[in-house]
Amino acid sequence: MTLAIALTCGLVIAAGGAAEDMHFSIEGVPANGLVGVPVVSPVPHEASPGSFALQAVGDERVLPAQLVPALGGKGVELCLVVLPGDADLAGQPLRVRRPADPVAARFRFEEDTVRGVLHLFEEGKPVLDYCFGMQLKEGVPENRRRACYAHPIYGLDGEAITDDFPKDHYHHRGLFWGWPDMDRDGKSVSIWDLRGVEQRFDKWVGREVGPVCAQFETDGGWYVDGERVADERVCFRVWPADEVGRALDVYLRWTAVDKPIVIHGQKQENKGYGGPNLR
């Protein structure tokens, strides 16, 4: 099922925060859906992030909406969740407006600068931790130290559903990304099992929380023998949980600094694994 939002007129938000109306129509939402459907649309005009609401003409229902920076790019995107009871609004013109009263955010961040961990909560319940600082479990070899991955990721009952530093594969680390076979200027390295290359966090690009989603972006890099060989952009967008689960969008971008980096999946026995991985 393809989801799309058709833009029928523009949105302009002045520096002072005043907004002109913007109208959308939602297409492709299942009429008999059982869970909420996350919907995203680019906004082609200059706008500032913030909380909004969508309302059909002649209908009292209000859909919370949120403008957030586009993942990994320029501009902003409009995010909302269409609940099963609101699927009949598909195809109707929806007016975007600022709510009369402030809208409470469902999410909040807590940063632990000592441990190098960013905690994300939804209505007081843990959602995930992003490990931006170097991590090393007691008793694990020094060469397994790492950063830039998500762990723990929590289930709907608050249970951790990922693992870190498992004894059978010390290099496995929650939700991470890497390749076991990489070549840079004739040197073989591997982000997958932390051999000869290191991921490092540079800075936070941005963080957003609101009634619809939470989002954070970071800049970092890959280092070989202390030399920065690639830039890394990491973006997470986290949607509200429902009785079935939670949607999580992840955007990753890597740019070689000067010389090309060749990446492969695991060549041994043609296993082919590599890239994003969840332990």
- Report pLDDT for 50: 79
In the chain, what percentage of residues exceed pLDDT 70?
A: 88
Mean pLDDT, all residues of the chain: 85
- Report pLDDT for 32: 64
The string of pLDDT tens digits covering residues 64-105 is 889 999 998 788 899 999 888 887 777 778 877 777 777 889
How large is the average pLDDT for residues 254-272? 87
- Report pLDDT for 45: 67
- Report pLDDT for 48: 75
Does the pLDDT at position 38 exceed 50? Answer: yes
Q: How confident is the model at residue 147 (pLDDT cuts 50, 70, 90)?
A: very high
What beta strand segments (E) does the chain contain?
4-7, 22-27, 37-43, 50-56, 63-69, 76-82, 94-97, 107-112, 117-122, 125-131, 149-153, 175-178, 181-184, 187-189, 198-209, 214-224, 227-238, 248-256, 261-264, 275-278
Q: Between 8 and 76, where is the model more confident?
A: 76
In the chain, what percentage of residues exceed pLDDT 90?
A: 58
Does the pLDDT at position 6 exceed 80? Answer: no
* Burial (0-12, 13-18, 19+ Cβ within 10 Å), 82: buried
- Report pLDDT for 62: 81
φ, ψ of residue 89 to 5 degrees: the values are: -80, -10
Asked if residue 172 lies in contact with residue 279, where contact means CB atoms within 8 angstroms, the answer is yes
- Report pLDDT for 75: 87
The string of pLDDT tens digits covering residues 164-203 is 999 999 999 999 999 999 999 999 999 999 999 999 999 9
- Report pLDDT for 122: 97
- Report pLDDT for 15: 29
Give the separation between CA 217 and CA 79, rounded to whole angstroms.
17
- Report pLDDT for 7: 32
- Report pLDDT for 16: 31
- Report pLDDT for 54: 78
Q: Hey, what are 205's tokens?
A: 């690009």
- Report pLDDT for 158: 94
- Report pLDDT for 266: 85
